[in-house]
Each structure stands twice: as C-alpha cells, then as structure tokens.
C-alpha cells in the first residue's frame, strides 16, 4: 500500500494535492543548454532564499514564492521557444502523432485530459486527477480505497514520459533518454488561473512564431 502524498521533490519542489488539476511542462533532453538551465535555477534558488530569510510571513510569503516560481517558468519557457529546433526528433509529424496518441491513451483513466500543446522541443499539459477520486458509479472512494488505487502526479509523469520515449525511440530507431528528467508542474488553484493557463497552452505556437492562429497548429488539443 503506497502513501498518499501532496508533495515530492526532484530538482525542484512539487506541490501536488490529491485529485488536483495541474499545468505541466516537460522538455526534450538538452533542448536548453545545461549552462542556461543552471543560470535560471541559480537565480530562482537565490530569489527563494531571499524570500525565506525576509520578514514576510504567511500569505505574503506564499504569494512571493509563487511569483518567483512563475518568473522561473516564464524564463524557462522563453528559452525553449527561442530554440525550437533543438528537439530535432519532433520535426517529423509522425512523432507528434505518437506523442498525442500516448497522451490520449491515459485519458479518463489516470487523468482527465483538458488540453495539450506539443511543441517541437517541449510539451504543455493541462490535466485533472479528480476522476481518480470516484468509482464507476461516481461515488467518492474511501481513504483505504484511494491508498490502493490512486496514482499521484509523479507516477503519472513517469508513465507519460517513459512510454512515449519508448514508442518514439522505436519509431526513430534510436536509444537513450528522450526527455529531460525533471518536469515543471503547477497546481491550478481556481477558475481564473485555469482560464489563463488554457490560453497560454493553446497560444504557445503563436507566441513562438510558428503560426499566426493557434487553431491552425495541428498538435494542440482542448477538451472544451
């Protein structure tokens, strides 16, 4: 029996409330130069340390930490968009389709897939784990049942990245890691944040200069 957890740590801390909705970004390995990632992470960690040693407490500190993490993400995503061809594997439309099919394969099972955008060197996801809280008759599961069946976000991400890496590698006839180990994830706290994130995901190809209208980009999906 595994323990239910709302937090795990890899290279960055991850807050993952049970049954939450999450915005996730993961990238092709080495899509951003190591030195650049180290610089971004160093600035983020310094900002976090400054907040934690300051006089701000409670809600003020929580908001400051969330703002620092958001700034880190924007810099990270801008670095990915600045060099979209770094993940040359995704220049093949068949690779995009393999990735999209893999994301859909877990829909209504491990998660509810709300939206995605598969960029040339990274993927944005919006998904909810709320479906794991209920049974087939839509009754809420007991804590004992959840402990047996619930799959937390870090487990799901291993399945998404591991399975897609194997399928894409098999198609390309290559070996080795396809995705960078860590992912960026953000807990979506309210409807306003949800709408903003959905807009961000769908319009990423426009922001990156790949298309003029998000609806003309073939590798986006929105459940609404």
Q: Give the single-character DSSP code of 47.
A: H
What are the distances in angstroms from CA 23 to CA 33, 61, 171, 184, 187?
23, 22, 28, 8, 7
- Helix or strand (DSSP H, E) at 149: helix 143-149
Closest CA relative to residue 180, chosen from 37, 13, 5: 37
- Helix or strand (DSSP H, E) at 222: strand 220-222
What does the alpha-carbon distance between residue 114 and residue 125 come to, in Å, rounded to a whole number? 8
Q: What per-residue confidence (pLDDT) applies to 188?
A: 93
Three-class SS state of 119: coil
- Helix or strand (DSSP H, E) at 26: strand 21-27
Taking only the tens of pLDDT, the chain with its 224 residues reads: 344 555 444 555 557 888 999 999 998 987 777 777 788 888 888 888 888 888 888 888 888 888 887 788 788 788 777 776 666 678 889 999 999 999 999 999 999 999 999 998 899 999 999 999 998 877 888 888 888 889 999 999 999 999 999 999 999 999 998 998 888 888 998 999 999 999 999 999 998 888 999 999 999 999 96
Q: What per-residue confidence (pLDDT) applies to 170?
A: 96
Q: What per-residue confidence (pLDDT) applies to 14?
A: 57
Q: What per-residue confidence (pLDDT) applies to 24?
A: 96
What does the alpha-carbon distance between residue 180 and residue 29 come to, in Å, rounded to a whole number? 4
Q: What per-residue confidence (pLDDT) applies to 22?
A: 96
């Amino acid at each position: 029996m595994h323990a239910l957890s709302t937090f795990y740590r890899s290279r960055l801390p991850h807050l993952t409330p049970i049954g939450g909705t999450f915005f996730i970004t993961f990238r092709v390995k080495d899509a951003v130069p190591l030195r650049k990632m180290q610089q971004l992470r160093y600035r983020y960690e310094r900002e976090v340390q400054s907040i934690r040693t300051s006089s701000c407490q409670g809600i003020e500190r929580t908001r400051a930490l969330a703002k620092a993490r958001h700034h880190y993400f924007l810099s990270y995503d801008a670095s990915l968009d600045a060099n979209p061809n770094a993940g040359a594997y995704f220049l093949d439309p068949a690779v995009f389709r393999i990735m999209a099919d893999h994301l859909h394969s877990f829909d209504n099972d491990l998660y509810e897939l709300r939206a995605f955008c598969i960029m040339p060197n990274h993927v944005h996801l919006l998904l909810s784990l709320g479906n794991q809280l209920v049974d087939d008759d839509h009754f809420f599961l007991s804590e004992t049942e959840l402990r047996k069946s619930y799959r937390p976000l870090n487990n799901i991400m291993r399945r998404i990245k591991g399975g897609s890496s194997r399928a894409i590698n098999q198609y390309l006839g290559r070996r080795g890691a396809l995705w960078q180990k860590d992912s960026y994830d953000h807990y979506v706290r309210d409807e306003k944040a949800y709408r903003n994130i959905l807009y961000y995901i769908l319009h990423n190809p426009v922001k990156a200069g790949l298309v003029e209208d998000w609806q003309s980009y073939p590798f986006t999906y929105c459940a609404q």
